Amino acid sequence: MIVIDFTPTSEQAEMREFYRKFAEESVKPLAREMDEKEKYSMELLKEIRQCGFMGIPFPETYGGAGSDVLSYAMCVEEMSRVDASTGLTISVHTSLCAASIQEFGTEEQKEKFLRPLANGSKVGCFSLTEPGAGSDVAAGRSTAVKDGDSYILNGNKIFTTNSGFADIFLVFALTDKEAGAKGMSAFVVERDTPGLSVSPDIPRMGIRAASNAEVVYENVRVPAANLLGGEGKGFKIAMKALDGGRIGIAAQSVGIAQGAIDEAVRYVKERVQFGKPIAAFQNTQFKLAEMQTQVDAARLMTYRAAVAKDKGENYGVYAAMAKLMASDVANIVTRGCVQLLGGYGYAREYSVERMMRDAKITEIYEGTSEVMKMVISGSMNLK
């Protein structure tokens, strides 16, 4: 008989309560204002950094919290329950930028770059997507040409989350234009490097508080010591980072969906129609039951992927499955919750309309649903 224990450890349960308390008391009161201003609060970001949320799964030896990927996923989920932009900010910093340096960096690079990222003194971003290269990562045109003990980096990146306030940029560029994906390399670039410029944030439908901009690299001289993993290893690093990033996006999706249900439950218990709260109607009860079941299923898939990564197992397919299902659930559930609130669900007075807008992006970044299906089907020995 196979026994699977889904009970979190006492430490994980304690940390989850801490994340939830912080989200409710510090993030939620600012969520609507940040969304409307389309700007993240630097004071809130400072609090997040001071609380250690930017280094949850990293070893204490490098300034991290010494916890695990599951605890990190729980943090992203709890933040996203009240504000998806906060969940995304933590996720990109952790899963994409810092985790790549942890896995592929030299000891010198870890001391110089991972430590400040893990202890929260610096924020990281992931500069991969280009105007003409989204899901087709290998179609990127940014270049890095060796020049003595440096590389000269040129290119344009777009939709770079955290770029408005990031200190450390993980940038992907071709060191061999003729080799395609095998010629891609990864570089750690510091914000104050001459030639690096960040545009104003791109106006967006959802996650409007998160910083997301175009970054231009014009003759940026990067020390060869900042090359991550060696020449030609960039594509591998990017794909590995996206595998881990999908756990964060799945957790974000679960958080958005759960947050919408929480808001809907509060509303239907207060809203009176035909002489009684609409929560008393079986149709309402059944709809909420169905949605909560979908969210719990997505949560379990997300946790499975996180635990697999913690155990050093091959988690890529689990992460793709979790991201595929959770992002779908986030969109279905947020639309359902808006419908339950009726006209009020469409009004900005209630947060479910923001959650519905935020949910859409979860089906797009870290790979579209079609990309997730390719990853999953590729593991099924169909050929």
Confirm whether 366 is a catalytic residue: yes
Per the CB < 8 A criterion, the answer to whether 230 and 172 are in contact is no
What's the pLDDT tens digit per position in 8-19?
899 999 999 999
DSSP assignment of 340-380, as one string? HHGGGGGSTTSTHHHHHHHHHGGGTTTS-HHHHHHHHHHTT
Distance of CA 123 to the CA centre of its chain: 14
Quick one: pLDDT band at residue 4, thresholds 50, 70, 90? Answer: low
pTM of the model: 0.95
What DSSP designation does 173 have? E
* Strand residues in the chain grouped as ranges (E): 124-127, 143-147, 150-161, 168-174, 184-190, 196-198, 212-223, 227-228, 272-273, 276-277
List, in order of start, the domains of the chain with CATH numbers: 10-122 (1.10.540.10), 125-232 (2.40.110.10), 235-380 (1.20.140.10)
Other Cβ atoms closer than 10 A to 236:
16
| Residue 244: strand, helix, or coil | helix
- pLDDT attached to residue 1: 46
Find the catalytic residue in 24, 33, 366, 370.
366
What's the pLDDT tens digit per position in 89-112?
999 999 999 999 999 999 999 999
Tokens of 102: 């942890």
